[in-house]
Structure 1
Amino acid sequence: MGESQTWTAAPGAAERARSVLAAAWSCAVTADGGREELVGAHDTAEDGRVLLHVPQDSALLATAICAPRGEPSAVLEFADVAPVPVRNRIRARLWLAGWFSSVDGHLVFQATRVVLHQAAGAEVVDLDEFAAATPDPLATAEARLLTHLADAHPDAVERLTRLVEAESLLGAVRVQPLAVDRHGLTLRIERSRAHGDVRLPFHTPADTVAQLTERMHVLLAQAGSAACARPALQRQRTDGEG
């Protein structure tokens, strides 16, 4: 598979959690037995506190104002959804448990427990690390970057499979870009009844879209010098499309 495949640099749990927060457009809030789905209504402060902008008639705001100690407990749930259509599009879920305070008609949420659930399982994120972490610099651009790669450059995605071990492509019927961050690109390899993910790490992290473009060109150059595209994958993709 080549030396580049042995480096598995990836964002840590705290950075991943902050990236989910930065990119998520909606969240579910459970407080005082009630549950509300909010869309486009949250921001994140530098220290990880979540700022909720809710309507004046929101039950959450009433709960915060009427709570005996003024700080009702709540749970916030965020889902990280792959922007490219693939099986099992939920890449991660983030749960924040903590309490609200009302500030100038808005809700400020301070987490006392942070849990990140990914394919490998659930992980409790250290609160100090969560507060100190910053989102991946590509987090808010990822959806646009991945959909462009999948829609406009399927040939490039096909070429990148040359960097994947042959065993990982056995039975593959489709390969799609699943995720990208400053450390690398992840491909989703789908089979008839299963799927798996393969990570292609960059030779050095990318902190801007311009740097990401350069890192992708390096990967494609490596793929170009690798063995020819595997006929088995091409045949199965053709059969699947038929």
Structure 2
Amino acid sequence: MGDTRDWAAGPGAAEQARSVLAAAWSCGVSAAGAREDFAGALTVTEDGGVLLEVPQDSALHAAALCAPRGEPSAVLEFADAAPVPVRSRIRARLSMAGWFTPGDGPLHFRPTRVVLRRSSGAVLVDLDEFAAARPDPLAGAEAHLLTHLAGAHPDAVERLTRLVRPESLHAATRVVPLAVDRHGLTLRIERTRAHGDVRLPFHAPADDVTQLTERMHALLTQASAASCPRALQWQRADGEG
């Protein structure tokens, strides 16, 4: 079924692309007719380039050494997966086409085309904006923050649903935190055969975990003042919760 979203105050494409890259632990690389997957072997440079540790006996390393001018064309692919188990767990995909430059150490990848694919469609990211953008300051901590919220504070997640329009909660079977960034929290609302995402924007951006804690407390205070959503009352009346 359809995936409906209600976005508000979210990151721009360049910032989201850099955030996906900053949090990535693995990537797929296609070059000179060969494809390899690498895990725990990449470092991101200040301008969004990638340093990739490649075994010297790999096909990719051979392609880098043997290509004309020593710069083979390549495509790097990254998947942004939600840290909390949900249906349709991939939140975005990042593809970067460009060139590998071999050297004495890691291969240096310089992008010439950056495409961010989200549920709303694909976006061609301007290269200058991509190079100048900075990852979301919470990108590195997001996985821990979301798994902690979902696992240790399910009562807080349920309270936050009071900020969601009742029609968005109709027939909901589960609500879990899907994403968090400096601009807000996204909740995944799952139904039997469909799901939708709802954005809860912060009153001001959070530049670190301390500020995020304050923003979350503000949302919870706002939620406490709201009435309990009828949709979840119906769900509990059917035996849930």
Same fold (TM over 0.5): yes
In structure 2, the residue matched to 1:230 is 229
| Cα offsets for 1:50-80 (capped at 9, x unmatched) | 1101122121111111112110000000000
In structure 2, the residue matched to 1:78 is 78
Matched letter for residue 232 of structure 1: A
Shift of 1:232: 3.2
CA contact (8 A) 1:101 1:109 kept: yes
In structure 2, the residue matched to 1:136 is 136
Alignment of 1:177-216 (within 5 A): 177-216=177-216
Structure 1 residues 238 and 78: alpha-carbon distance in aligned structure 2, compared to 1, 3 A threshold: farther
| Cα offsets for 1:134-184 (capped at 9, x unmatched) | 100000100000000000000000000000011111111100000000000
In structure 2, the residue matched to 1:3 is none
Matched letter for residue 207 of structure 1: D
SS in 2 for 1:203: coil
In 2, distance between residues paired with 1:138 and 1:200? 16
In structure 1, the residue matched to 2:3 is none
Q: Percent identity?
A: 74
In structure 2, the residue matched to 1:64 is 64
CA contact (8 A) 1:173 1:237 kept: no
SS in 1 for 2:8: coil
SS in 1 for 2:140: helix
In 2, distance between residues paired with 1:7 and 1:201? 9
In 1, distance between residues paired with 2:7 and 2:73? 41
TM (norm. structure 1) is: 0.94
Structure 1 residues 220 and 55: alpha-carbon distance in aligned structure 2, compared to 1, 3 A threshold: same
In 2, distance between residues paired with 1:232 and 1:96? 42
In structure 1, the residue matched to 2:46 is 46
In 2, distance between residues paired with 1:61 and 1:120? 36
Alignment of 1:155-174 (within 5 A): 155-174=155-174
In 1, distance between residues paired with 2:172 and 2:197? 12
In 1, distance between residues paired with 2:7 and 2:55? 47
CA contact (8 A) 1:19 1:135 kept: yes
Shift of 1:236: 2.3
In structure 1, the residue matched to 2:150 is 150
Matched letter for residue 192 of structure 1: T
CA contact (8 A) 1:79 1:93 kept: yes
CA contact (8 A) 1:189 1:196 kept: yes
CA contact (8 A) 2:177 2:187 kept: yes
Matched letter for residue 61 of structure 2: L
CA contact (8 A) 2:7 2:198 kept: no
Larger deviation, residues 218-227 vs 47-56 = 47-56
| Cα offsets for 1:162-207 (capped at 9, x unmatched) | 0001111111110000000000000000111100000000000001
In structure 2, the residue matched to 1:94 is 94
Q: For structure 1, list consecutive stretches of 5 or more residues without a partner in the other structure.
A: 1-5
- Alpha-carbon RMSD across the aligned residues, in angstroms, is 1.6
TM (norm. structure 2) is: 0.94
SS in 1 for 2:109: strand
